[in-house]
Amino acid sequence: MNFVEEAGIKNGTCIISVPHATAAIVANEHESGLMQDMLAKVEDVFPRSWSYGHNAIDDNADAHLAAAFLGHSRMFPIVDGRLIRGTWQNVFVVELDGPRTRREVWLQIIGES
């Protein structure tokens, strides 16, 4: 990931975050069947058709709940200038209430150069 190299950090930590209440960050394999399975499981656990209290205000309580359980951030170590991830691990933004025209992803890299 070029942003680690651009930051010039040799050893430290990288935090990847989305500042949105209906999106999440996950780390997993980039395989279409697995991604479809993940979204199907989110729909199974947090069905859109359920009667949520929040839906009286906004019709997206399922997205808020799924985002809260999946999490808005992930943290990765940086060692010798490289972001450490598993062999098949990729980082994804999971859109739970969209598509939206704009989502932000924040990176914070802390460490020694």
Classify 101 as helix, strand or coil. coil
For residue 95, what is the DSSP state?
E
Chain centre distance of CA 96: 10
- Along the 113 residues of the chain, how does pLDDT read in single tens digits? 588 989 999 999 999 999 999 999 999 999 999 999 999 999 999 999 999 999 999 999 999 999 999 999 999 999 999 999 999 999 999 999 988 889 999 999 999 98
Q: Please tell me the predicted confidence (pLDDT) of residue 2.
A: 86
> How many CA atoms lie less than 13 Å away from 103 in the CB half-sphere?
20
Q: Please tell me the predicted confidence (pLDDT) of residue 9.
A: 95
CATH number at residue 69: 2.60.120.460
pLDDT tens for each residue of 56-65: 999 999 999 9
Q: Please tell me the predicted confidence (pLDDT) of residue 1.
A: 56
Q: Please tell me the predicted confidence (pLDDT) of residue 74.
A: 98
Crossing angle of helices 32-45/61-70, nearest 10°?
120
Q: Are 101 and 9 in contact (CB under 8 A)?
A: no
Q: How far is CA 44 from CA 39, 55, 61, 77, 113, in A?
A: 9, 18, 14, 32, 45
Q: How many domains does the chain have?
A: 1
Classify 15 as helix, strand or coil. strand
Q: Which domain holds residue 25?
A: 2-112
Task: Give 3-state DSSP helix, strand, coil % of the chain, rounded to 5.
Answer: 30, 30, 40
